[in-house]
Structure 1
Amino acid sequence: MRIGLLQCDDVAPELRRVHGNYPEMFAALFEKVEPSLEFRTWRCMDGEIPDDIDAVDAWMTTGSKHGVNDGLPWVEELSDFVRRLWRAGKPLVGICFGHQLMAKALGGEVVKSERGWGVGMSFNRVTTRAAWMEPWQPGLDLIVSHQDQVETLPPRPWSWAAAISAPIT
């Protein structure tokens, strides 16, 4: 299986020396589960947006220090690409900034939290059970570090990401 990594930032230099950049981190993590996976990276934050939605079997986005509402040209180009993937039914996983990008690109609303930065653990309730969710659990704790948040989910129909609700506060 080929995974397309839509890289939206670089890991901070002091952390990169120890842990590598996003492509190396994801490859190392996934290799522990499935060593045969192949990764191809597009540096979206440098304007490198894929032109072929079939270049790989599934797509992932990384986090970013940038926000989806910062008015950066590459963010809108990547949003267009996300909409193309969605219309074609291609698998896409949005991580952190990528989750916010997906929500906004598909018609949701992303805003800065009135409470400022959220850092720590967040309990998330799973509201819909899908067949792939094994082992099943009604909720999960996630480590968070963000100031932007998805305020309104995209209108239906939308992806399985809707199965995980906003953090319970």
Structure 2
Amino acid sequence: MGSQPTPPPIRLAILEADTPVPGVRAKYGGYGGVFTDLFRRACGSLSPPQSLESQLDLSAHDIVNDLDSYPDPETLDAVLISGSKHNSFESDEWILRLVQYTKRLLEGGRVRIIGVCFGHQIVARAMGNEVGRSVRGWELSVVEMALTEEGKKIFGKDTLRIQQMHRDEVHSYPPGTIPLAHTDVCAVQGYYIPKRLIAVQGHPEFTEPMVTEILGMRHEGGIIADGVYKDAMSRVGNEHDGVLIAQAFLKFLRE
């Protein structure tokens, strides 16, 4: 029996829906660099370890500042829509264009979609669901999520910890999706359709230094109140499952 041929790397386009804060930008460039680092760590933590290049063929696209930077779906296997400081429910031209592009991918049925935070909300909006401000306010820093039975299967754990940075939310699960997780603050923390899409409200790509910098800037800017900031900073260095979540994304891409 000959060995199975190695499957080619998955062609994954990272749609950058924001420019990172200065410290993150200096280290990683755009969010394409941030996710490349996350996936590199995830591939290296597989058993046996794999190189990033053997698993993923990554490209990054600044969809905020270059409306023509969208990749042709024919050249892709999957897209990842990043987080953003912008509101997923607004009508800016670039946001409407992103929603339309996501609808096109959903209707096409071949290109798989990963949504992270803002991206998770955009996918829901493209599926016809309402997104908006959470009445419970900010959810910040490392938070433990309760997983559904499907969530436990996908992530291989009973609970999951993830960095959070949001006060917007998806108000209800999009039609046909399988719920993955919830917290007391946010009922829709993740959803999934096998071989089609997976989305999480939290940030698997965020590290302690990144979140510390973002919290500091938003606190100084008066966006996050003193008490909320202090509480978030008390948990910012807690262990979280970002790499494990990225491994679940890799598994989803190979389903």
TM range (shorter): 0.7 to 0.9
Deviations 1:31-70, CA, capped at 9 Å, x for gaps: 3413212211221112235262222111101111101122
Between 118-127 and 77-86, report the one with greater CA deviation. Answer: 118-127
Of the candidates 72, 76, 80, which is equivalent to residue 52 of structure 1? 72
Query: Residues 149 and 18 of structure 1: is their aligned pair in 2 closer, same or farther, counting only changes over 3 Å?
Result: same
CA contact (8 A) 1:107 1:153 kept: no
Of the candidates 14, 25, 35, which is equivalent to residue 34 of structure 2? 25
Structure 2: how far apart are the matches of 1:165 and 1:11? Answer: 27
Q: Please show how residues 6-85 of structure 1 align to structure 2 within 5 Å.
A: 6-32=15-41, 33=43, 34-36=51-53, 37-46=56-65, 47-50=67-70, 52-85=72-105
Question: Percent same amino acid at aligned positions?
Answer: 27
Structure 2: how far apart are the matches of 1:102 and 1:139? Answer: 24
Structure 2: how far apart are the matches of 1:145 and 1:6? Answer: 18
Structure 1: how far apart are the matches of 2:144 and 2:99? Answer: 28
TM-score by length of 2: 0.58
Q: How many residues align?
A: 164
Segments of 4+ in structure 1 off by > 6 A? none
Question: For residue 120 of structure 1, what is the aligned residue in structure 2?
Answer: 141
Q: In proportion to residue count, which structure has more helix?
A: 2
Aligned residue identity for 2:172: T
Structure 1: how far apart are the matches of 2:135 and 2:167? Answer: 9
Which structure has the larger Rg? 2
Structure 1: how far apart are the matches of 2:90 and 2:166? Answer: 14
RMSD of aligned residue pairs (Cα, Å) = 2.2
Gaps of 5+ in 2: 1-9, 44-50, 186-255
3-state DSSP class of the match of 1:40?
A: strand
Gaps of 5+ in 1: none
3-state DSSP class of the match of 1:74?
A: helix
CA contact (8 A) 1:43 1:49 kept: yes
